[in-house]
Amino acid sequence: MEATTEASTPITARIPLYSIIISSVVTLECIVCIILNPITIAAIVFGGFGQKSAIHLFITSLSVSDLLSGLAFLSFQIQRWVATLGGVHPSLVTISWISSTLSAAAFPGSLLSAMAIGIDRAFATSKPMSYKRTMSQRNGKLILAVLCQLCYTCSVSISEKYDFTGRLFGVVLPHVVAANLSVTITFCDP
């Protein structure tokens, strides 16, 4: 009887080349984002621009949230690479929780900071004479405090519904899906 090695070798899924290229480009973009945003923050802080006008506060806020977004995307890419290269591994749940936490804080913060910059620039161009008087450092800091509170409210709203026992809105979730807070919900009896 002749034995073949097909049954004893593990079956590995081939990953298409375009998927590897796209994932590599996204990983590279994340690394560039993580390197350049702290440089922007340092330039504003050490150059003293943060004390000159409110727009620099908003740009710093956007740089911080984009730095967190870069870290979130990089952790998603790390999760993808670990799943691709190592298969299902317990570290995927940890990476997934890190990704979800960073995403919950970074994405609303980035959108709200961009909105604040847009409103500030629209106000500066539509009413240039009253802009300096109205948009002071104090008002800029107050707007940032309101944006931070709104971002916190957005990111905590889902975590309050999730009771850390694998239930979201009374529905039992599998561990990996619960870690991602994904849309895919498995309906099971508790």
- 150 part of a folded domain: yes
99 pLDDT band (50/70/90 cuts)? confident
Highest mean pLDDT among 48-57, 64-73, 172-181: 64-73
Full domain range(s) for residue 141: 17-162
What's the sign of the alpha-carbon dihedral 149, 183, 167, 178? negative
- 32 part of a folded domain: yes
Q: CA–CA separation, 54 vs 182, rounded Å?
A: 37
What number is the average pLDDT over the span 37-41?
92
pLDDT tens figures, 116-151: 999 889 988 998 888 888 888 888 889 888 888 888
Choice between 100 and 25, residue whose per-residue pLDDT is larger: 25
- 175 part of a folded domain: no
Residue 24 sits in a domain of what CATH number? 1.20.1070.10
- 73 part of a folded domain: yes
Model pTM greater than 0.85?
no
- 124 part of a folded domain: yes
Number of domains in the chain: 1
Please give the backbone phi and psi of residue 134, each rounded to the nearest 5 degrees, phi first. Answer: -80, -45
Does 173 have pLDDT greater than 70? no
Average pLDDT, the chain: 75
- 189 part of a folded domain: no
- 145 part of a folded domain: yes
What's the sign of the alpha-carbon dihedral 133, 137, 138, 144? positive
- 180 part of a folded domain: no
